[in-house]
Structure 1
């Protein structure tokens, strides 16, 4: 299958690296320098102490017609991508964004494209323009957003490494909500406190703050099974204890975070439901200040 990966960040490189073992992959990047590096050197993936090299095409500008496009850019770059995709003939497009704010954009997007939504449960860190470190092995769960024609896509994406499985689900919204819950408990606090994920459960004060975020988010999302979900959040902290969250990496490197996709979505929903969320509001405003400073002083 001819697959286009839009975005050359950690998740884009990870997807391109694994999927290139079975499919014809083109990575669409914003910078020509990165596209040239991928064309010349391929993609280097490190996992479990081993390094793998795979070949992929790369270019700037989404001009090719693919059997499937996978959008891996962060939420704050998504609108630019949607504008570009609007000019293309009808295609199948899978969106892999953190948070849930992109659901509003896709719902209001008048397009003939077939849309799919996915949730990434892998850990990945971009090492260079053509190298990625696979820091945590998980799965990608995906489902149909508007269209139900999935048989050939399902079959194609089922051919995968044991380290990189793509699983179809009709309950993609539930999966998104549970991933959002994990994100809002871990990412903002690690970014504000400048700690690795494991510190949130090693330090009782940090864990208390995380529990406050959890309670507010569960209330906003209307989720049941609180005991199971809290255990899930704690288990993710344990499994990724040595990892820096993507939001912390963004703050350290002076980049815009996914604050709007995660906290922004929840606070908008809280406002609609007239639910008070003081801790999430504080996290959101604090991160907004750090983003505006665009500082590397945490290094």
Structure 2
């Protein structure tokens, strides 16, 4: 039985659900409240995916209606969001870099994670906000000093679609340009809509696509990755402890605005992306206000 895990409800109050198909191929939503309070590291480490299959087969999960409910990130706030840079040869080239011979690693704050359809803020001073469709790995068991890629594969619980939104002016130029600055902005890591168990798809052969205002920008396949998911997990385990619920973003293919071929994201733009088998995101972007602007707007509304 193929399953998709999701979290539905208002931000901060999401409820865990599983989506399964009946014998007619109709998707139905079932509450996971009897098994877990959330889809998080604890759920995954406690063999939550297998327990979900058993509970569904036994008829122990109540069906619910998902109509009208917001879809949040399919994994609750992870302990770590680890990212791999320049993992597609063509993207390295359009970025002006040589393809790496070992994985390029950086971190994003966990508070950047958001839902796949949430309104998307462009930072107040940003002029070069960019999209990056990526395959996201969700860790299911602790990974530390792994001895092989086979061991690494066993630590992968599943996969999610992701967008590693990046402010290039903050990230790259000059002495003060840093990847951390350009990759840490609010709501800059939308995940989902689904967490799909690892055994249900071939992570090494998934199409990835991005559209901006309906026009295709990225179209590639995970088969073009320099370092595949198991290699990435094995490599990272030599330098850090990966814990259940952690998310790894595996890099983006060519077709970003940094290439110079496209305009950066503007207020009102709609950015959509999808990864085969993992669903589609759609987010409309707006210009975020500074704190002073927010206070002034609030005061004006209260007058």
Calculate the TM-score normalised by the size of structure 2: 0.26
Between structures 1 and 2, the one with greater strand share: 2
Between structures 1 and 2, the one with greater helix share: 1
Calculate the TM-score normalised by the size of structure 1: 0.26
